[in-house]
Amino acid sequence: MSNQAKCYIASIISLGFAVVTVALVQSDFQNLSRFLAYFALTLLASTMKVSLPRITGTISVSFLFILIGIAAFTFTETVLLGCAAASMQSLWRAKKTPKPVQVLFNTACLAIAIGVAFAGSHWINTVMGGRSLAIFLVQAASLFFVTNTGLVAGVVSLSEGKSFRELWANCYAWSFPLYLMGAAIAGLVCMTGQSVGWGWALLLLPLMYLCHVAYRIHVRSAARRQALLERLCENSAASAREAESVLA
């Protein structure tokens, strides 16, 4: 691993630690019993993960609870949900036991992404005077997606010497619709919780499993499309070489 990659990892872990420290210093829990219930569900959702094609990484439906947290919980509660999700997702049934620095980096990335999404979406909502939960969650999902995938793509780019733009476009950009799907489900949970109570909102959580199934289908479809594209490119290159040899 290059020195640039090591410095990048150290910087992200330090920044993530700062975000977690701010969250803990605030120590703001509006409803502890609600938080503990959703904390447990976040851990469960983190076990429903799908391996991403072309890279070493996974995606899980714990993102739904992070969005719910951004919309309805405090910053402290949301950051703790995210840290728990990142740690569980990294360690649960991993094909290869991750190194401590990998777990720390993944957790730090999620903490930073939550900080950007939480602060950014609430700031935009205040400035624009918006009252639409749907628009708010789309903003939060977009900020979270760009920050989280950008941070991860950055370390892969530095470690493997690949183009950041191409890496992000090929390995992450296709997953944005999944984040929008998560925003829609999070919106339903938030509206139900605000209107009839957060206990009743839990009845909507079977949608979490449906979202997990959609993740799996979407990932497999993306992997098949990418494999087909690579074969077409290889065939085109082989045809070009054959034509050059005939004309030579």
Q: What is the mean pLDDT of the chain?
A: 80
pLDDT for residue 247: 45
Q: How many domains does the chain have?
A: 1
pLDDT band at 246 (very low <50, low <70, confident <90, very high): very low
Rounded Cα–Cα distance for residues 49 and 215 (Å): 9
- Domain boundaries, position 84: 3-247
Out of 89-93, 137-141, 212-216, the most confident range is 137-141
Q: What percent of the chain has pLDDT over 70?
A: 75
pTM > 0.85: yes or no? no
pLDDT in tens, 168-196: 877 777 778 878 888 888 888 888 887 87
Give the pLDDT band of residue 3 (cuts 50, 70, 90).
confident
Q: Quick one: tokens of 78?
A: 């949301």
Residues 43, 88: Cα–Cα separation, whole Å? 6
Q: Are 90 and 103 in contact (CB under 8 A)?
A: yes
Distances (CA, A) of 182 to 2, 30, 33, 132, 159: 36, 24, 24, 17, 30
- CATH code of the domain in which 58 resides: 1.10.1760.20
